[in-house]
Amino acid sequence: MERAGKLITFEGPDGSGKSTQVQLTARALQEGGYSVLVTREPGGTRLSEAIRGLLLDPCYQEMSPVTEALLYAGARAQLISEVILPALAEGKIVLCDRFVDSSFAYQGYGRGLSLDLLHLINQFALTKLGNFYTILLDLPPKEGLDRSKEEILRDRLEQESLEFHQRVRDGYHALARSSPGRIKVIDASLEPEVVQKQILEYVSAYLLDQDQGYPF
């Protein structure tokens, strides 16, 4: 039987183990017979990866929050039209390392941009995308930053203050409270195997249609 494609996004602070968990989830789903596509934001297409380079390069300290939000949305629009929509049409399970909630958390709660405006910009970017589902790996920012790269290797966003990263985390919590059906929160300080088990429980419910996912 042909399975419908579905999008699952993974969110969380830098250093939350997100990318590892995305890979583990992909492997588990493939072993379960699903056709899986893994991608990331910002990035995932030639153009979106070029935009990623601009966004994360610490040399662009002058980038305004609005420019930043538009570039993230631009990279997202390209990824959706070039990769995500075609994969969903082929019945694939798409796992995306970060997605639109990162814009609300970082540009909205972190930078202080209006959530309504971010919604508007992203509605434009997400045109034609149906329901999706989100796993949020939660971790105190200090723990995440300590776990991530050495200070000198940090990208433009990772170099932001601890206060900025605390606002991002609070923002993620607020998003999870306002979309409890779509966003499932998991404590990322637990052992990676425990985190993976919890992810697979949520993801299975979504894939087995016990949970329909939610529109943006």
Please report, as ranges, the residues that interact with ligand TMP according to CB under 6 A.
Answer: 14, 40-42, 72, 98, 102-103, 106-107, 157-158
Based on CB atoms, which residue is closest to ligand TMP, 149 or 197? 149
Whichever of 41 and 138 has its CB closer to ligand TMP, that residue is 41
Q: Is the dihedral of CA 128, 14, 212, 201 positive or negative?
A: positive
For ligand TMP, give the closer residue by CB, 79 or 207.
Answer: 79
Name the token pair of 83: 């990769």
- CB of 88 within 8 A of CB of 5? yes
Residue 83 and residue 52: Cα distance in Å, rounded? 16
Query: How far, in Å, are 1, 148, 194 from residue 188 at the CA level?
Result: 35, 14, 9
The b-or-e profile of 45-75 (16+ CB within 10 A means b, else e) is beebeebbebbbeeeeeeeeeeebbebbbbb
For the chain, what is the radius of gyration of the CA atoms? Answer: 16
Least Cβ distance, residue 78 to ligand TMP (angstroms): 13
Closest CB to ligand TMP belongs to which residue? 106
> Shortest distance, CB of residue 128 to ligand TMP, whole angstroms?
19
Q: How far is CA 67 from the centre of its chain?
A: 19
Looking at the DSSP bridge assignments, the partners of residue 8 are 95, 133
The residue among 92, 49, 90 whose CA lies nearest residue 71 is: 49
Distance of CA 100 to the CA centre of its chain: 7
User: Smaller CB distance to ligand TMP: residue 99 or 206?
Assistant: 99
Nearer to ligand TMP, 72 or 133 (CB): 72
By beta-carbon proximity to ligand TMP, the closer residue of 136 and 207 is 136
